[in-house]
């Protein structure tokens, strides 16, 4: 396959190159990643300043392209400028830290995969629960084999897969679980501080939600020592509510007396 590989942790991130190492022996891989960490930027794109695309060497040998923008920029620019034909697959990761539940909405890793799906290209976002490096290689090997299965069987246009690993050796993982995205909110925490000029500022904590009660959600699967795979659609329309709303009669000029 011809693969575009990206992430949100930057061109030098260990998870990116662990995935590259697993893929490069089997596929043509082009790395297009941010030139610095862009975690939690969501699906932002760069509009009001120029974007630079430069060749980069990692560890003296591995080559890729560093982009002075967001993960979504990397996919958009990579598709527009670096491929004679559209790649077969876009992979984003491996992110050090799970992207499950409401965090999916903030994740640059997930946004890169979503940008590819918007363009009609199959895509997978890959994350591992803890920020350690001990199990990156095994997760990358699994992701490579999983990618081949996905391409052989196919996924609907406009849908991408969110793949999350527990931070465990493969022989301690209980299996793969197809799961839905969790919707429970994460506890909000800001640390209030004072700067040297005695002005107040806030540092937002990265709280993780660990108390998942349901095993069919992404975070619950991880807590149960399963690999979680969640299909996510780019079309965010609530069709149940749309059907309900379509029964409403909304006049063009509402009567201001009606609610009195």
DSSP 215: T
CA 100 to CA 221: how far, in whole Å?
10
Q: Which residue has the tokens 């060497």?
A: 57
Annotated binding site for a divalent metal cation: 8-9, 39, 95
Length of the chain, in residues:
260
With contact defined as beta carbons under 8 Å apart, do 6 and 71 qualify?
Answer: yes
Q: What is residue 34's three-state secondary structure?
A: strand
Residues β-bridged to residue 126: 163
CA of 22: how far to CAs of 106, 227, 255, in Å? 27, 18, 65
Beta strands, E only, 97-155 = 123-128
Q: Name residues whose C-beta falls within 8 Å of residue 185's C-beta, 6 or more positions apart in sequence.
A: 102
Tell me which H or E stretch contains 16: helix 14-24
Annotated binding site: 8-9, 39, 95
């Amino acid at each position: 396959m011809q693969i575009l590989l990206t992430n949100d942790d930057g061109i030098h991130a260990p998870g990116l190159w662990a995935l590259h190492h697993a893929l490069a022996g089997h596929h043509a891989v082009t790395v297009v990643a941010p030139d610095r960490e862009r975690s939690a930027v969501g699906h932002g794109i760069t509009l009001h300043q120029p974007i630079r695309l430069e060749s980069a060497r990692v560890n003296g040998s591995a080559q890729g392209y560093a982009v002075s923008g967001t993960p979504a920029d990397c996919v958009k620019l990579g598709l527009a400028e670096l491929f004679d034909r559209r790649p077969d697959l876009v992979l984003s990761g491996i992110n050090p830290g799970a992207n499950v539940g409401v965090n999916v909405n903030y994740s640059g890793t997930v946004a890169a995969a979503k940008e590819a799906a918007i363009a009609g290209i199959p895509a997978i976002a890959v994350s591992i629960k803890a920020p350690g490096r001990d199990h990156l290689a095994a997760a990358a090997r699994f992701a490579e084999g999983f990618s081949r299965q996905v391409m052989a069987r196919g996924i609907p246009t406009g849908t991408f897969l969110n793949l999350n690993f527990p931070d465990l050796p493969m022989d301690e993982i209980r299996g793969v679980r197809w799961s839905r995205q969790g919707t429970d909110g994460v506890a909000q925490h800001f640390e209030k501080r004072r700067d040297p000029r005695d002005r107040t500022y806030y540092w937002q904590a990265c709280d993780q939600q660990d108390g998942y009660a349901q095993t069919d959600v992404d975070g619950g699967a991880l807590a149960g020592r399963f690999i979680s795979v969640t299909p996510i659609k780019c079309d965010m329309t609530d069709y149940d509510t749309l059907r309900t709303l379509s029964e409403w009669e909304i006049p063009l000029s509402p009567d201001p007396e009606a609610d009195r």
